[in-house]
Structure 1
Amino acid sequence: MNRSAPFYLFMLMVVFSPLAIDIFLPAIPAMADAFDAEMASIQALVGIFILSLGAGQLLAGPLADRYGRRPVALTGVVIYVLSAALGAIANSIELLWLSRLLQGLGTCAIVVAAFSGVRDTFPKERLTALYSYLNGVICIIPALAPLLGGVLTEFWDWRANFVFMAGYGLLAGVLILRGLPETRPEGTRADGALISWERYAPVLGHPVFQFYSVMNMLGMAVILAYVSFAPAVLMVDLALSPMAFAAWFGVNAAINIAAAFAAPSVIARVGKRNGLVLGVSLCLLACLGLIALQGWADPLAFMAPVFVASIGFCFLLAISGGAALIPFGERAGTASALLVCIQMSGAALVLALISLVPLSAALRLAVLTLLPLSWWLLSRLRAQQYGQIKAAMES
């Protein structure tokens, strides 16, 4: 079995998720007009996708361990393309919701195959850098996708965004079909029930996985809240045009890119523990900035703290994503699935709960940027478990 997989394919595979989230954001007002629907109904397309993406991991991970990474990835691509095509021809908001639900399921299969494939293919000492590079690729898409979505919507209509997603899926699918080998290690075939407590318990019960998966989730909740709140803050409250919104979105994404690609070098120099402290501290600084600047009716008053939080987010994910999977080489598919499930569905749940709090969007985001520090402090109180976590940080 050939386990040598080119890293560029994994980079193509992780693009599916942010592309599906970000490309149609500038089209949200046009979609609301087209369906004569409330803005909340269109914004729900992001939440439906994220929840589906997260929950689907519970099945995609065991499938990747049982049948292999390659067939799971290819099946996910087929579902992604068909669901994007369904979204392009949808004539009701309910059908559009269904397309996003299916698109999330297809994406989750691709993401599981990508992350477990990286864990299969490369040595653990390289995982922090490689996961940071994957996060850097993920961050490139929010810089480009809203600009592309704005152009597609302005010169055609909102449906062109879904046509583009289907086209990308077809192109990437051909490259994956031709170039992705099976990376699953020998002897890791998972028999028995696909979804069972016995399969997940060893992963969920591991203190290192618990700490890093929740930290990963909280970092994702910060960026997901920004994606959800920014259209309302910038295009509704501050009356920016879709292209101006896309420009601000692009600036933040450019900062994400720089931070994601710089993070491995910084972490290698200061160590995982200090790198995590840096990420948590930057989120705290963003929290204070959002509180201090909330009264200013200027895009920079909202976006400047977001820029700081985005850098912190890159450090949190660069360290947490790889560290959570290191103990589970023999069941990387299941561990990857649980990690993404907790990251995505957990972040969506946290966002849903904070959205119920009667605060402004800026203050809601401030609360979320405070949670990584809270989790760090809570974990330190669990002395025995924190000893294992600290050892993992130093490895």
Structure 2
Amino acid sequence: MRPLADRLAALLGPLAVVAAVSFVSSLGIGVMLPLMPLYAISLGASPVQLGLMTSAFSLMNTGGQLLAGVYMDRYGSLPFIRVGTALYAAGNALIATARDAVSLIAYRGFAGLGAGGNLIGSRVYIAQVAPPERMAMVNGVLASAASAGQVIGPAFGGTVVELFDLRAPFVIVAVTSGLAFFGLLTLPVPKRPAAATQRIGAPTSALNRSVVTLLVANLFLTSGFGGFITTYAPFATELRAWTMLEVGLIFSLIGAGSVVLGTPLGHLADRTGRRRVGVVSTIPVAFFGLAMVLDWPRPVLYVITFIAGGGLTAFTASWFALLNEASPEGRKGRTFGFVSALSNLGTVAGAMGASAVWQLFGLPFGLVLPSLSALLAGLTLLALAPGRP
């Protein structure tokens, strides 16, 4: 037990820095989600340009993940965290200086490129420095830090806008991202795993059965996210007559559940089985949509939402730990990059699928579909070999 305690103690410093970077990146996203359309409109953006702005970030983010994955195994994970964070900081600084919608779209894409590289670099770096026995827990810490940024971001951005203007939040995110970059300079270079120490039975192919299974599971989860984003707010406002404050409260409860429950559930996954926790964690997520459609009492819905937030983080933490186990040594960057980037397609498919169901059968069915997708994400993990990593 002592060697594990020593490794955990050595991990605390790097984990704190990477978690801080994850928080800052998510804070920027939380600031941008509600404010970016307003900022773009103030620059004269058309509805089509608003769509292009969102697409530019998503596409460049996917490209950043793929590029990082391809070259990370050759150059190491740390340069991609640093370069990704620097690009993200520069992108936000440029966003604050945008003079028209076209330049804003370009700068938003630039920031997305950095965010994609940073995402894959952070996960692979943690996989290289964390004890395998605690992989789900440390990924839970990262997910909780990201959720904290997303919870604080909208309120932070709105407050700064009230005090200054629409450009000010992006300046602040650029500055905090710059500070995070300097913090990354203190991280030690992870040791490359030696071929001789590769465990017996370790995977050798980057597209083995376990990796494909995890990809399918994550596609279901991101599909549920895309469907949820498309149908939740219209359902809440049109069929339940919720105020915008009540709509936003659900997002806050999801984030709060992630922050509070994420790390303990990650620790539980390491102790009792990541596959098992990953399967069970999607059940409260699935119940959220059903509770909305069946109009369960508001206090019950809030409790389910809070638990669902923890469930989402538990699934993500377990999923990354399982992906680390399934990825061959020396090709983790490529595997992480490919699987994470391809998973983004699920968001598009989920949004389109929920929209089609909404149009054909009604909004309640459109909201139930993401719940089923989330449940299928967990059930897909049953195709993995039983046992604990």
Match of 1:117 in 2: 125
1:170 to 178, 184, 187: 178
Residue 213 of structure 1, CA deviation: 2.8
Is residue 93 of structure 2 the alignment partner of residue 85 of structure 1? yes
Match of 2:342 in 1: 342
Residues 143/234 of structure 1: CA separation in 2 closer, same or farther (3 Å cut): farther
- The correspondence of residues 40-189 of structure 1 with structure 2, limited to 5 A, is 41-42=49-50, 45-177=53-185, 179-183=186-190, 185=192
- The correspondence of residues 196-235 of structure 1 with structure 2, limited to 5 A, is 202-204=205-207, 206-223=208-225, 225-226=227-228
The sequence identity of aligned pairs, in percent, is: 20
Distance 1:135 1:12 in 2: 11
Residues 63 and 72, structure 1, Cα contact 8 Å, conserved in 2 = no
Residue 9 of structure 1, CA deviation: 1.7
Distance 1:235 1:84 in 2: 32
SS at match of 1:8: helix
Residues 263 and 315, structure 1, Cα contact 8 Å, conserved in 2 = yes
Residues 147 and 246, structure 1, Cα contact 8 Å, conserved in 2 = no
Match of 2:260 in 1: 258
- Kindly provide the amino acid, as one letter, of the partner of residue 287 in structure 2: L
Residues 270/286 of structure 1: CA separation in 2 closer, same or farther (3 Å cut): farther
Residues 120 and 332, structure 1, Cα contact 8 Å, conserved in 2 = no
Residue 209 of structure 1, CA deviation: 1.2
Residues 70 and 182, structure 1, Cα contact 8 Å, conserved in 2 = yes
Distance 1:160 1:225 in 2: 32
Residues 229/61 of structure 1: CA separation in 2 closer, same or farther (3 Å cut): same
Match of 2:385 in 1: 390
248-257 or 221-230, which deviates more: 221-230
Match of 1:367 in 2: 369
Residues 379/133 of structure 1: CA separation in 2 closer, same or farther (3 Å cut): closer
Distance 1:266 1:186 in 2: 27
Residues 18 and 138, structure 1, Cα contact 8 Å, conserved in 2 = yes
Match of 1:197 in 2: none
| Matched positions, count | 366
- Kindly provide the amino acid, as one letter, of the partner of residue 82 in structure 1: A
- Kindly provide the amino acid, as one letter, of the partner of residue 279 in structure 2: V
Residues 357 and 365, structure 2, Cα contact 8 Å, conserved in 1 = no
Residues 268/106 of structure 1: CA separation in 2 closer, same or farther (3 Å cut): closer
Distance 1:19 1:227 in 2: 19
Residues 254 and 308, structure 2, Cα contact 8 Å, conserved in 1 = no
Output the TM-score relative to the length of structure 2: 0.81
Residue 117 of structure 1, CA deviation: 0.7
- Kindly provide the amino acid, as one letter, of the partner of residue 212 in structure 1: L
Residues 375/277 of structure 1: CA separation in 2 closer, same or farther (3 Å cut): closer
Residue 86 of structure 1, CA deviation: 1.8
Match of 1:193 in 2: none
Match of 1:192 in 2: none
Distance 1:390 1:375 in 2: 16
Residue 221 of structure 1, CA deviation: 4.0
- Kindly provide the amino acid, as one letter, of the partner of residue 372 in structure 2: L
SS at match of 1:42: helix
Distance 2:37 2:256 in 1: 25
Residues 103/180 of structure 1: CA separation in 2 closer, same or farther (3 Å cut): same
Residues 217 and 346, structure 1, Cα contact 8 Å, conserved in 2 = yes
Match of 1:34 in 2: 42
Residue 119 of structure 1, CA deviation: 0.9
Residue 137 of structure 1, CA deviation: 0.8
Question: 1:194-214, CA deviations, whole angstroms, 9 ceiling, x for partnerless residues?
Answer: xxxxxxx9222x111122233
Q: Cα RMSD between the aligned structures?
A: 3.4
Question: 1:83-107, CA deviations, whole angstroms, 9 ceiling, x for partnerless residues?
Answer: 1122112222222221121111111
Distance 2:156 2:231 in 1: 20
Residues 137/361 of structure 1: CA separation in 2 closer, same or farther (3 Å cut): farther
- Kindly provide the amino acid, as one letter, of the partner of residue 90 in structure 1: A
Residues 376/118 of structure 1: CA separation in 2 closer, same or farther (3 Å cut): closer
Residue 150 of structure 1, CA deviation: 1.0
SS at match of 1:330: coil
- Kindly provide the amino acid, as one letter, of the partner of residue 81 in structure 1: A
Which blocks of at least 5 consecutive residues in structure 1 are unaligned? 189-200, 381-385
Distance 2:270 2:378 in 1: 21
Residues 69 and 120, structure 2, Cα contact 8 Å, conserved in 1 = yes
Residues 30 and 150, structure 2, Cα contact 8 Å, conserved in 1 = yes
Match of 2:350 in 1: 351
Residue 349 of structure 1, CA deviation: 2.5
Distance 2:175 2:236 in 1: 30
Residues 65/129 of structure 1: CA separation in 2 closer, same or farther (3 Å cut): same
Match of 2:7 in 1: none
- Kindly provide the amino acid, as one letter, of the partner of residue 388 in structure 2: E
Distance 2:137 2:322 in 1: 11
- Kindly provide the amino acid, as one letter, of the partner of residue 385 in structure 2: K
